[in-house]
Amino acid sequence: MQLNCPLLVTENMAATRRFYEEILGLNVIFDFGANITFERGFSLQTKESWAEFIERPQTEINTRGNDFELYFEEDQLDSFLEKLGQREDVVYVHKLKEFPWGQRVIRFYDPDGHIIEVADSMRAVVLRFLGQGLSPEETAKRTQHPIEFVRMCMQENTPEEAR
Protein backbone atom coordinates (compact mmCIF):
# COMPACT_ATOMS: atom_id res chain seq x y z
CA MET A 1 0.00 0.00 0.00
CA GLN A 2 1.18 3.52 -0.77
CA LEU A 3 -0.03 6.87 0.53
CA ASN A 4 -1.13 8.93 -2.45
CA CYS A 5 -1.82 12.39 -1.03
CA PRO A 6 -3.61 14.25 1.75
CA LEU A 7 -6.89 15.91 0.82
CA LEU A 8 -8.18 19.11 2.39
CA VAL A 9 -11.82 20.15 2.28
CA THR A 10 -12.46 23.72 1.17
CA GLU A 11 -15.50 25.94 1.38
CA ASN A 12 -14.31 28.18 -1.47
CA MET A 13 -12.25 26.37 -4.10
CA ALA A 14 -11.35 29.51 -6.07
CA ALA A 15 -10.08 31.45 -3.04
CA THR A 16 -8.18 28.50 -1.59
CA ARG A 17 -6.63 27.60 -4.94
CA ARG A 18 -5.52 31.22 -5.41
CA PHE A 19 -3.99 31.19 -1.90
CA TYR A 20 -1.81 28.15 -2.64
CA GLU A 21 -0.82 29.42 -6.07
CA GLU A 22 -0.01 33.00 -5.04
CA ILE A 23 1.46 32.55 -1.56
CA LEU A 24 3.17 29.18 -1.85
CA GLY A 25 3.82 29.25 -5.59
CA LEU A 26 2.24 25.85 -6.19
CA ASN A 27 0.90 24.69 -9.54
CA VAL A 28 -2.21 22.64 -10.14
CA ILE A 29 -1.53 19.44 -12.08
CA PHE A 30 -5.12 18.13 -12.19
CA ASP A 31 -8.31 20.18 -12.10
CA PHE A 32 -11.56 18.24 -11.94
CA GLY A 33 -13.66 21.18 -10.78
CA ALA A 34 -14.71 19.89 -7.36
CA ASN A 35 -11.23 18.42 -6.83
CA ILE A 36 -7.78 19.72 -7.72
CA THR A 37 -4.33 18.26 -7.14
CA PHE A 38 -1.20 20.34 -6.63
CA GLU A 39 2.26 19.37 -7.84
CA ARG A 40 3.51 18.87 -4.28
CA GLY A 41 1.14 15.99 -3.69
CA PHE A 42 -1.98 17.21 -1.97
CA SER A 43 -5.52 17.87 -3.12
CA LEU A 44 -8.42 20.18 -2.40
CA GLN A 45 -12.01 18.96 -2.47
CA THR A 46 -15.12 21.11 -2.26
CA LYS A 47 -17.14 20.70 0.91
CA GLU A 48 -20.26 19.88 -1.09
CA SER A 49 -18.69 17.02 -3.01
CA TRP A 50 -16.86 15.71 0.06
CA ALA A 51 -20.15 15.55 1.97
CA GLU A 52 -21.58 13.45 -0.84
CA PHE A 53 -18.55 11.15 -0.91
CA ILE A 54 -18.70 10.37 2.81
CA GLU A 55 -22.51 10.43 2.94
CA ARG A 56 -22.70 13.05 5.68
CA PRO A 57 -24.45 16.41 5.86
CA GLN A 58 -22.22 19.42 5.28
CA THR A 59 -22.95 20.55 8.84
CA GLU A 60 -20.87 17.59 10.07
CA ILE A 61 -17.80 18.71 8.13
CA ASN A 62 -15.67 21.05 10.21
CA THR A 63 -12.53 22.96 9.37
CA ARG A 64 -10.29 25.09 11.59
CA GLY A 65 -9.45 22.13 13.82
CA ASN A 66 -5.85 23.13 14.65
CA ASP A 67 -5.00 19.43 14.55
CA PHE A 68 -3.32 19.11 11.14
CA GLU A 69 -0.83 21.05 9.06
CA LEU A 70 0.80 21.02 5.67
CA TYR A 71 4.55 21.34 6.14
CA PHE A 72 6.77 23.04 3.57
CA GLU A 73 10.52 23.70 3.63
CA GLU A 74 12.12 26.67 1.92
CA ASP A 75 15.81 27.24 1.17
CA GLN A 76 15.23 31.01 0.93
CA LEU A 77 13.01 31.55 3.96
CA ASP A 78 13.84 35.25 4.32
CA SER A 79 12.64 35.93 0.77
CA PHE A 80 9.45 33.96 1.44
CA LEU A 81 8.83 35.89 4.67
CA GLU A 82 9.22 39.18 2.82
CA LYS A 83 6.65 38.06 0.24
CA LEU A 84 4.31 36.78 2.95
CA GLY A 85 4.61 40.03 4.89
CA GLN A 86 3.27 41.96 1.92
CA ARG A 87 -0.05 40.13 2.20
CA GLU A 88 -2.77 41.64 4.36
CA ASP A 89 -5.02 38.59 4.06
CA VAL A 90 -2.76 36.15 5.94
CA VAL A 91 -3.88 35.09 9.41
CA TYR A 92 -0.96 33.85 11.51
CA VAL A 93 -0.88 30.97 13.95
CA HIS A 94 2.40 32.52 15.10
CA LYS A 95 5.08 34.75 13.68
CA LEU A 96 8.60 33.55 12.95
CA LYS A 97 10.28 31.55 15.70
CA GLU A 98 13.45 29.51 15.92
CA PHE A 99 13.67 26.05 17.45
CA PRO A 100 16.69 24.91 19.50
CA TRP A 101 18.06 22.97 16.49
CA GLY A 102 18.19 26.23 14.51
CA GLN A 103 15.25 25.75 12.17
CA ARG A 104 13.10 28.86 11.79
CA VAL A 105 9.37 28.37 11.20
CA ILE A 106 6.26 30.39 10.63
CA ARG A 107 2.71 29.07 10.72
CA PHE A 108 -0.41 30.59 9.24
CA TYR A 109 -3.87 29.54 8.13
CA ASP A 110 -5.16 28.90 4.64
CA PRO A 111 -8.61 30.36 3.81
CA ASP A 112 -10.33 27.32 5.37
CA GLY A 113 -8.35 27.42 8.60
CA HIS A 114 -5.89 24.62 7.81
CA ILE A 115 -2.47 25.28 9.29
CA ILE A 116 0.43 25.85 6.91
CA GLU A 117 3.98 25.67 8.21
CA VAL A 118 6.89 27.01 6.21
CA ALA A 119 10.33 26.35 7.66
CA ASP A 120 13.97 26.63 6.73
CA SER A 121 15.13 23.49 4.99
CA MET A 122 17.57 21.70 7.26
CA ARG A 123 20.12 22.07 4.46
CA ALA A 124 19.75 25.85 4.76
CA VAL A 125 20.11 25.64 8.56
CA VAL A 126 23.31 23.61 8.23
CA LEU A 127 24.77 26.07 5.71
CA ARG A 128 23.79 29.03 7.91
CA PHE A 129 25.61 27.55 10.92
CA LEU A 130 28.68 26.66 8.88
CA GLY A 131 28.65 30.20 7.48
CA GLN A 132 28.58 31.55 11.04
CA GLY A 133 31.82 29.67 11.74
CA LEU A 134 30.58 26.52 13.45
CA SER A 135 32.60 23.41 12.63
CA PRO A 136 30.89 20.48 10.93
CA GLU A 137 30.86 18.63 14.26
CA GLU A 138 29.39 21.63 16.11
CA THR A 139 26.81 22.03 13.36
CA ALA A 140 25.79 18.36 13.59
CA LYS A 141 25.38 18.67 17.34
CA ARG A 142 23.43 21.94 17.12
CA THR A 143 21.08 20.76 14.35
CA GLN A 144 20.67 17.29 15.88
CA HIS A 145 21.49 15.80 12.48
CA PRO A 146 24.16 13.20 11.68
CA ILE A 147 27.59 14.46 10.67
CA GLU A 148 27.05 12.65 7.35
CA PHE A 149 24.13 14.96 6.60
CA VAL A 150 26.27 18.03 7.39
CA ARG A 151 29.04 16.77 5.10
CA MET A 152 26.51 16.08 2.34
CA CYS A 153 25.22 19.68 2.62
CA MET A 154 28.79 20.97 2.50
CA GLN A 155 29.55 18.92 -0.60
CA GLU A 156 26.34 20.02 -2.37
CA ASN A 157 27.24 23.63 -1.64
CA THR A 158 30.78 23.31 -2.99
CA PRO A 159 31.18 24.49 -6.59
CA GLU A 160 31.79 21.60 -9.02
CA GLU A 161 35.27 22.85 -9.97
CA ALA A 162 36.37 22.90 -6.29
CA ARG A 163 35.43 19.26 -5.64
Give the sign of the dihedral formed by CA 83, CA 155, CA 150, CA 133.
Answer: negative
Q: Is residue 163 over pLDDT 50?
A: no
pLDDT higher than 90, residue 37: yes
Domain, as residue range, for 134: 123-162
Give the pLDDT confidence of 84-120 residue by residue, as tens digits: 999 999 999 999 999 999 999 999 999 999 999 999 9
Identify whether residues 21 and 49 lie together within a single domain.
yes
**15 near 109, Cβ under 8 Å?**
no
Assess if residue 1 is contained within a domain: no
Q: What's the confidence (pLDDT) of residue 135?
A: 96
The reply to whether 157 and 91 lie within a common domain is no
Q: Are residues 105 and 130 in the same domain?
A: no
- The CATH code of the domain that includes 110 is 3.10.180.10
Answer yes or no: do 107 and 35 share one domain: yes
pLDDT of residue 138: 97
Q: Give the number of domains in the chain.
A: 2
Q: Find out whether 94 and 76 touch, Cβ atoms under 8 Å.
A: no
Q: Are residues 74 and 13 in the same domain?
A: yes
- Residue 99 to residue 20: CA distance in whole angstroms: 25
Question: Residue 104 domain-assigned?
Answer: yes
Using 50, 70 and 90 to split pLDDT, how confident is the model at 157?
confident
pLDDT single digits (tens) 13-26: 999 999 999 999 99
Q: Any residues with CB less than 8 A from the CB of 61 and at least 6 apart, and which?
A: 9, 47, 50, 51
pLDDT digits over 47-90, tens only? 999 999 999 999 999 888 888 999 999 999 999 999 999 999 99
pTM of the model: 0.87
